[in-house]
Structures are given as C-alpha cells and as structure tokens.
Amino acid sequence: MMLRQTSSGLLLAVGLLMFGWTCALEPTSVDVLENDWYEFECVYNAQDDKNKVHELTVHIQDCYSSARIALSREHFSSATAAVAVVFGKTSSQQADIKSELMKNQNWPMYYTNSENAYLKEGLVKIVSGDVNKISIKVNVTNRMDRRCISCNQIKSYLDLEPTKKEALKIRRPPTASATVNGAALQPTSPATALQLNQTVTIICTASGPAQLSVTLLKDNREIASKPASNSLTHVIAKAGRDSAGVYKCQAETDLPFLVQRSRSSGSLEFVLAVNFAPTFEVSEIVRYTQVGNKENIRIRVQSYPAARLECSPTGDMPIRESYNNREFFNEYDLTLTNLDSVRKESKFRCTATNEVGQRQLDILLTAKAPTPEILSSVNTKWSNSYRLEWQHDQNASIDHYLVEIVYRNRDDNSEVNRTEIKFSPTQQKGSIALVDGDTRNGKLIHSGQLVNLTPDSNHDIRLRSCNEHGCSEYTPTISVRTQAKTAENYNDPKNPMKSQNPNRASALSSDAANLVGMIFTWLLLTVGLYPML
C-alpha cells in the first residue's frame, strides 16, 4: 500500500500502524494428538519484505478471524495479542513501543510477549526466538481445538500478511466406559461386591473417533468382543468364585494417525468381587525351632470382604498388610514363641472371620525330631543293596536316624529277621552310608545306600529321626525287592558293594566272619567236638 502525503493520509497511516491486519489465507489442517506438544516455526522471508521493514509475528487465535496485530504498547495484553514478535521499522516508529518494549534499541529486535494469556498459563512455550525465526511449542488441550497458529510478515509497506497458517485438529484416543447392573464405574471405583449366584450384566461402551470396536477382558483374557461397534453387553447368569477378578473394557480404533502413535486404544479396568468365607493357603503350619525361640510367621488369608484374624494363645498382635482388592487377600506377620518346655512344642490356633464365615489354621512350634518323608521308589537294580532317599524340614534338629529292615523269605514272604540300624546324619560307613545331601524349598534331602540285603527277596523298610527330645514316628513302610544275584550285577563296577563304595570294607568283613564261622563249625563236626558243646 502506498502512503499519500496528506493530513488524512497521515491519519490513515497512524491508524494502520496502531492496528495492522492480515490478508485471508486458508489454514492447513494439522492432526495433533491431545495433550501432546506441537512445534511451530515462523521464519522471516527477506525476499517478501519489499520495503525492508523486517516485521514478524506469531499468533494463536480463532481460525475464522483475521489476525489483527497490535502495534502499540497498550494492545499487547489484549485477547488478540501476539505470542512473540520481531519489532521492525514500523514498530520502532511507535513512541511507546520504542521506549517501553524496545527500550530504545535498534530494529529489528526480537520480543516475547510475556503478557500473552497462553504463555502465562503454560500452554505455549518459546523454543527459540531471534530476528529471523520464532519457534514455539503448543500444548494441545481442548482450548487449542480448532485454533490457528499463524506466522505473519509485512510484505508491502503496511500490509501484514500470514505466510503460514495451521489449524490444529485434535485427535483423541478412544475411551471406554462401563456399567455393572446399571451402575456407572469410574477408574477409581472400589471393587463391586456380588453375591453368589447373582445375575450380573456388564455393558462396555467405546467413545472417540470413528471406526471403533469394543472388547471385554477378564484377568487379561478376552471373554467377549464386538467389532465395528461402540457397545457390548455381557451377562453372567450366576456369579461364582471364578467370576471374581479384574475386568477391562477396551475401546479400539484403526484410525492411522492414532495407530501410528500407539494411541489407538483406551480402557477402563474394574474389579468384581464375590463374597466368600476366609480360606488359608495351608491348613497347618509346622515350624521346627528350639524351646524359647521366637518365630516370625507370615500367613495369607483370602476372603471377601476382608477378614479379621485372631490367634490364641495370644503372642504379639498380628501385623496386617493392606488388603489386596484385586486378588482378595490379606497377609499377616505373626511373632510366636515356643514356651512349652515340658512337651517341647507349643500349639496355636488362628481364626479368620468375615460376614460370610470363618476358617481356622493350626500352627505348631516344635523342638522334636520330624518324621522323615521317603522319596525314593521301591525299585533297585542290585541284588544286595538299595538307595534310600528321604527329606525333612531343614531347620529340624536331628542327632541320628533309625532305619528298620524286615528281611523276608524269598519263597513264602514270611519274616526271617528284623533289625534296626542307627546311623548319624554324617555317617559314611556301615550297613547304611549317606551318599549325598541337598536343600530345596526349605527341605533337607538325604540319600543313603543300604547294603547287605538278601538277593531276590522282599525287604520292608521304614525310617525315623531322633534328637535329645526323643524320636519321631516311623515313616510308612515301603517294600523293596532285590534282584537275583548274577555274576553280571555282582561284578558290575557300579555295584555299591564294590570298592568304589565305603561300605565294601564292612561288607567284606561280614562275609569273612561268615566264612570263619562256617569253617569253625565244620571243624567241630569233623573232629567230633560238636556234641561236647
């Protein structure tokens, strides 16, 4: 626009300096993700600045309004004020701008409008700014929907024109909502309590962009889905214990913009709980300890609603952790003491109670020797030995073991002999020798080799452990049948009776003793001395 050198022309020029305007420019639609930060650059183009005034502004405003650019100091706090500007020749001719905002510096000069409402609220950040480029970041909230960001430059002497204009089109990920028996749920809703055999109706609804589908999951497993729809209904005819769990209504879209950004789904999780009486994970706890020792014991109580726990005779009060409302349990820490110095063990009973019912748990603290558990099978590949494996609590105090062997006749299975062998937890020689030991899952596992068994015969074997307080009960009896004696298995290098086994010395000495006895008997009979005895 050319200026006329008349009084009216001068007034027109002053008016235009006070308020520049932008010519129409259709905005470019830009998809932006809700709550994301979108970056916008405004670059000064010297070739378009025919009069070399070097004016540049960045605005955020309604897309349907022309960007009116305040060029006087008083308009920088108005609703249409620029976010940032480059003061050029035109601005420097305004006295208040020159003295207050430019502080009498030379043009062009970059200036951030700290009075802009978006800047004050933190919805816009200045990334960088100088006389040639202004970069901003915009927080994409509801307030920015259908708003335009424009880059404006004076191309002719007084015409402020947009060189770039972008309309923000907010894309929102889909959201899901749910109702249970007509009651709307929120992300913070507590567990929904159900009664056994109650009918339950779950409705999942998807909201958001087009092309929606909805899915219902329970404990991360799909139980119902409805493609190309925004609503799904699932009915549980009779609620049972297995109906309790974490449910999720999930909404999905195949809109490419959201798919590419991994924001194509939204969900709502909620918990359904079915009232049930308390249960313990075990019916009894046995802890091996010395008399007078304090023991810390953790127990888990599953129930809904949460159960109350009481133990007697009372030790320290149970310490309860917060209720897990997804898996429906409490964990308690108990401190109990074995105080019975006569019986060497103390018994406690804990009772968990809620409005549905109650359960009991017995806890035994004992210093007595435990009854072992035999792990080995009843088979052996040898004619005269058997590998016995057993386990017991690793904290138990054991001085020695007793193994009872009943030798049976190979023909009629009648009892021939019964013997009880005592051996220590570290014994390496004798009729039984410990081969190895291991600890797994709180259990001490032993393995020992029984030798000097009768070939091709049944042997009844049972075991018990002992300490200073006495011996445990015997294990249930197992029946082991040895193989028939052959040169092949007898001379097998792996035969435990051979030299690799420490029992061989005792086995050989036993055989030698038997041989000496046979020779002595033969001599007595030969010389006629036997009747004299």
Q: What is the pLDDT of residues 224-283, one digit of tens each?
A: 999 988 999 999 999 998 899 999 999 999 999 999 999 999 999 999 999 999 999 887
Question: pLDDT band at 358, cuts 50/70/90?
Answer: very high
Residue 284 tokens read as 């009894």
Query: Given 366, 385, 411, which residue is the final one in a domain?
Result: 366
Over residues 406-416, mean pLDDT: 94
Give dist(CA 91, CA 72) in Å, integer: 8
Same domain? For 152 and 221 the reply is no
pLDDT of residue 222: 96
Total structural domains in the chain? 4
Give dist(CA 207, CA 173) in Å, integer: 9
CA distance from start to end of the chain: 151
Same domain? For 402 and 430 the reply is yes
Please, how many CA atoms are within 13 Å of residue 280, restricted to the half-sphere of its CB? 20
Query: Given 366, 386, 414, which residue is the final one in a domain?
Result: 366
Within a domain: residue 142?
Answer: yes
Query: In which domain, by residue range, is 305 found?
Result: 279-366
Share of the chain above pLDDT 90, in %: 48
Same domain? For 406 and 466 the reply is yes
* Unique residue bearing structure tokens 């062998």: 421
Within a domain: residue 425?
Answer: yes
Within a domain: residue 517?
Answer: no
pLDDT of residue 440: 80
Within a domain: residue 15?
Answer: no
Query: Given 243, 274, 305, which residue is the final one in a domain?
Result: 274
Residue 498 tokens read as 């051979």
Same domain? For 286 and 266 the reply is no
Over residues 406-435, mean pLDDT: 83
Least Cα distance to 504 among 429, 403, 446, 436 occurs for 429
Same domain? For 183 and 156 the reply is no
Over residues 28-45, mean pLDDT: 93
Same domain? For 137 and 189 the reply is no
pLDDT of residue 202: 97
More confident residue, 176 or 337: 176
Within a domain: residue 436?
Answer: yes
Same domain? For 32 and 160 the reply is yes
Least Cα distance to 94 among 111, 80, 79 occurs for 111
Domain of 362, CATH number, reads: 2.60.40.10
Same domain? For 142 and 107 the reply is yes
Count other Cβ atoms within 10 Å, centred on residue 112: 16
Same domain? For 53 and 102 the reply is yes
Within a domain: residue 497?
Answer: no
- Asked whether residue 518 carries a pLDDT value surpassing 60, the answer given is no
pLDDT of residue 125: 95
The order of strands in the sheet holding 276-280 is 276-280, 294-304, 329-337, 319-320
Question: pLDDT band at 516, cuts 50/70/90?
Answer: very low
Same domain? For 336 and 398 the reply is no
Least confident segment among 221-225, 236-240, 310-314, 378-382: 310-314
Question: pLDDT band at 61, cuts 50/70/90?
Answer: confident
Over residues 151-175, mean pLDDT: 85
Least confident segment among 326-330, 356-360, 439-443: 439-443
Within a domain: residue 74?
Answer: yes
Within a domain: residue 88?
Answer: yes
Question: pLDDT band at 317, cuts 50/70/90?
Answer: low
Q: What single letter denotes the amino acid at residue 445?
A: I
Same domain? For 379 and 303 the reply is no
Same domain? For 159 and 45 the reply is yes
Question: Tell me: the pLDDT tens digits for 84-121?
Answer: 999 998 888 888 888 888 898 999 999 998 888 899 99
Average pLDDT of every residue of the chain: 83
> What pTM did the predictor assign?
0.54
